[in-house]
Structure formats: C-alpha cells, structure tokens
Amino acid sequence: MLLEFELNGKQTRIEADPTLRALDLLRDVLGLTGTKEGCGHGECGACTILVDGKPVNSCLLYAAKLQGRRVTTIEGLTVADDTADGAEDGTEDGAEDCGSPWDPPPLHPLQEAFLCEGAVQCGFCTPGMILSAKALLDQNPDPEEREIEEALSGNLCRCTGYRKIVKAVQKAAAELRSRGSR
C-alpha cells in the first residue's frame, strides 16, 4: 500500500504493508527509533505518538491508519512546534543554570523541563511521556495537577516515581504560557 501522510511536518510517501504496526513502520522502515516498544499491548505508553495531535499507542495502530494524517514523533518535537527555542533561553529563565552539559540542539520546553527537573532517568518512557504531555498542553495550556496525571495516565515509568515528571510538565506549561504572552 502506498502510504502518504505528514510526518513531523514533512509530507512522506512510502510503500508499506498496511498491517505493519505504525511502531514498526517508524522504527524499522523509516529509521525513527525514538518511539519505543515496552509491551506491545497498549499497556505502557512507551510507543506513544501523536496522530492529528492526539496521543495513541503506535503498537496497536496499523500503518494503514496513518493515511492522510498528521503524525508527530519525538524526533519531530522541535520541528512540529515553533515555540521550540535554543538552549540559551533556558539560562535566562531560572536563577540557576540547569547545567545542560553541552550545547544541545533546540529543545522544546517540555524536553528542556524534563532535563532540568530530573524527570528523566533511564529515558525509555521519556519520548512517549513527553508526547502525551505535549498533547495535553496543546489543548490545555494551564492544566491542574489532576489533569496532568490524567493525561499521562497511559504512560508508565518505573524509574522516577513520577513526581519530577509532574513538576516538569508544570514548568514547561508555565514557560509556554509566558512565551505565548510575549
């Protein structure tokens, strides 16, 4: 089947088996390995991608369902949003330099916040977690804690205990709101 869809802001055309999992299409065919497989059953959220801005488990999604859609993976985060900014901005905002140890590529405020708040440990759940958070903030720029936890309820993390993840989302939300108001 010829699949045509928007992937991370770019029109993509590719011949693929329609019953291939979207997860495998991304990882094996398109070489985008940022999306992870944690369980294969839609029970852990590590494979979360955004389709038309909505979070779905790519391990349950047949590639055919991507036809004509707008797909966002973690690799596209800095491209999908024009609120992405360079590392320099991070140092202006807080009193303490988060200490990003080398010049990173332009990071989305969610990525920056996850990094600075210690919300990343092993990092395996992180791409899915960030995308679920992005879907939330795109709809709801000022979420309550209850709304954050609901939005991330489909993303398991075994390393962090989640507290810093919640803080990171709150921090990113504040940053995005302040940019929006400039």
Partner 1 sequence: MAAEAAGQRMKYLAGGTDLAVQISEGIVDPALLIDISAVEELRRIEENGEGLRIGAAVTIAELLEALRAAEAGKSAESAAIPRCLLQGAGSIGSPQIRHLGTIGGNVCNASPCGDTLAPLIVLAASFSLRSAHSSREVPAEEFFLGPKSTVMEPGELLESIFIPRTHLRGRSAFRMIGKRNGQVISQVNVAVWLRREQGKAHGTGEERPLPVQDIRIAAGSVAPIPLRLRRAEQCLRGSVPEASALRAAARAVQEEIQPISDVRTSREYRRGVTAALFMDVMAEVLEGEGG
Partner 2 sequence: MKLEKLNVVGRAVAKVDGVELVTGRAKFAGDLRFPGMLYAVARRAGIPAGKIRSIDTSAALALPGIKAVLTAEDIPGANIIGILPPFDQPLLAAEEVRYEGESLALVVAESREAAKRGAAAVWIDIEPWEPVLEVDEALAEGCRKIHPGGNVTFSKRLVKGDVEKGFAEAEVVVENTYHTSFQEHAYLEPETVAAVPGGDGRITVYASCQSPFHIRGHIAANLDLPASRVKVIQAYTGGSFGGKDDVATEIGCLAAAAALKVQAPVMIAHERGESIVGSNLRHAARIHYRTGSRRDGTILAREATIHLDGGAYASESPFVTMKALIHAGGPYHVANVQVECTAVYTNKTYCGAFRGFGVPQVTFASESQIDELAAELGMDPLELRRKNALRAGQANATDQVFEQSVGLVQTIDRVAERAAEPGAGAPEAERNAGRWLYGRGCACMLQGISNGAEGIDVVGASVQASQDGSVLVGVGLTDMGQGSRTVFAQIAAEVLGVTMDRVTVHQVDTDSVHDSGPTVASRSTTVGGMAVYKAAREVRSSLVKMASLMIKCEEQQVLLQDNFAVLAPDARRAADPEVRIPLREVCTAAYWTGFPLMNLTFSRAPDANFDHETHQGNIYIAYNFGTHLMDVRIDRLTGVVEVLRHLAAHDLGKAINPMGVEGQVEGGALIGFGMAHLERIEHRGGCIQNANFADYAVPSIKDRLPTETIIVEDPNPTGPYGAKGVGEPPVAGTAAAFANAVAAATGIRFTSLPIRREDLLEALQGRNGGAAAEVGS
Q: Does 144 bind partner 1 (CB under 8 A)?
A: no
H or E segment at 135? helix 126-139
Strand blocks (E) in the chain: 2-7, 10-15, 48-51, 54-57, 70-72
Site membership for partner 1, residue 126 (CB under 8 A) = no
Structure tokens at 134: 């992005």
Pairing of strands 70-72, 10-15: unpaired
Nearest to 80 by CA among 10, 177, 5: 10
Say how far apart CA 47 and CA 57 lie, in whole Å.
6
What is the CB neighbour count within 10 angstroms for residue 80?
Answer: 22
- Is residue 179 at the binding interface for partner 2, with CB under 8 A as the rule? no
Q: Which residues of 112-125 are buried (b: 16+ CB within 10 A; e: fewer)?
A: bbbbbbebbeeebb
Q: Between 12 and 51, how does the x/- string for binding to partner 1 read (CB under 8 A)?
A: -------x-x------------------xxxx-x--x--x
What x-and-dash track marks residues 133-152 binding partner 2 by CB under 8 A? ----------------xx-x
Binding test (CB under 8 A) with partner 2, winner from 14, 29, 30, 37:
37
Query: What residue 48 binds from partner 2, partner 1, none (CB within 5 to 8 A, per partner kind)?
Result: partner 1
Contacting range for partner 1; rule: CB under 8 A; set: 88-96, 102-110, 151-159, 165-173: 151-159
Q: Is 46 in the site for partner 2 (CB under 8 A)?
A: yes
**Residue 104 in 3-state DSSP?**
coil
Of 22, 23, 84, 125, which one interacts with partner 2 (CB under 8 A)? 125
| CA 92 centroid distance within chain | 24
Site string for partner 2, 156-175 (x = CB under 8 A): xxxxxxxxxxx---------
In the bound state with partner 2, the residue whose beta carbon lies nearer, of 112 and 175, is 112
30 closest CA partner among 42, 21, 43: 21
Which residues lie near partner 1 (CB under 8 A)?
Answer: 19, 21, 40-43, 45, 48, 51, 54-57, 59-62, 64-65, 132, 135, 149-151, 153-156
